[in-house]
């Protein structure tokens, strides 16, 4: 599952609403010197980072947390707007998930670059980064698709011309 994925990062939020970013997640062992395997990760974005061992149950332990709607979170562009979101205990949506959440590199880089760990402050920053990534990825995919279609049309034209001259046979 995790073997050989040094770009994998894990996200957790502690009881103080601080974001914990574990990066460079790797499994070590088992081998002659270390008979049991261990899940290890680094935490910190400076020249000095701490190394943590992650208990395997962290990946399977579930949480059930009341939270605002995703559309409300996505629409909140500032710290004040995020802090103003109200979650009623009675009819709230529940975030059902695991204690640790695997996240893509773009999120890891954004969190490390932001240089802060307050979840409320990071929500608009990470949301904006993900939206920008999606926007640029879609644009890149559209450009690629147009370029790919142009190449395919050129290839099909070439094949049809070669067929006319008996150079290519349809199988």
pLDDT band at 159 (very low <50, low <70, confident <90, very high): low
Q: What are phi and psi of 90, to 5 degrees?
A: -70, -55
In a domain, 16, yes or no: yes
Domain range for 85: 9-132
Indicate whether 143 belongs to any domain. no
Evaluate whether residue 170 is within a structural domain.
Answer: no
Question: Do 116 and 122 contact (CB within 8 A), yes or no?
Answer: yes
**Could you report the per-residue pLDDT of 111-142, keeping only the tens digit for each?**
888 888 888 888 888 888 988 988 888 655 55
The answer to whether the predicted template modeling score (pTM) of the entire model surpasses 0.85 is: no
Q: How many structural domains compose the chain?
A: 1
Sorting pLDDT into bands at 50, 70 and 90, what band is 14? confident
Residue 165 lies in a domain: no
Contact 12, 18 (CB under 8 A): no
Domain contains 28: yes
In a domain, 114, yes or no: yes
pLDDT above 70: residue 37: yes
Q: Is the pLDDT of residue 167 over 80?
A: no
Across the range 129-157, mean pLDDT stands at 65
């Amino acid at each position: 599952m995790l073997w050989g994925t040094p770009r994998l990062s894990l996200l957790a939020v502690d009881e103080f609403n601080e974001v914990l970013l574990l990066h460079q997640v790797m499994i070590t062992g088992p081998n002659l010197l270390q008979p049991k395997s261990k899940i290890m990760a680094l935490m910190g974005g400076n020249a000095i980072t701490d190394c943590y061992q992650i208990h395997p149950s962290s990946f399977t332990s579930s949480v059930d947390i009341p939270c605002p709607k995703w559309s409300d979170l996505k629409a909140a562009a500032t710290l004040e707007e995020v802090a103003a979101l109200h979650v009623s205990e009675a009819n709230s949506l529940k975030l059902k998930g695991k204690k640790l959440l695997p996240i893509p590199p773009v999120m890891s880089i954004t969190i490390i670059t932001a240089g802060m760990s307050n979840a409320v402050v990071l929500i608009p920053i990470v949301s904006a980064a993900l939206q920008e990534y999606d926007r640029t990825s879609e644009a890149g995919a559209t450009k690629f698709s147009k370029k790919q279609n142009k190449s395919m049309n050129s290839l099909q034209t070439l094949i049809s011309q070669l067929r006319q001259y008996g150079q290519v046979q349809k199988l």
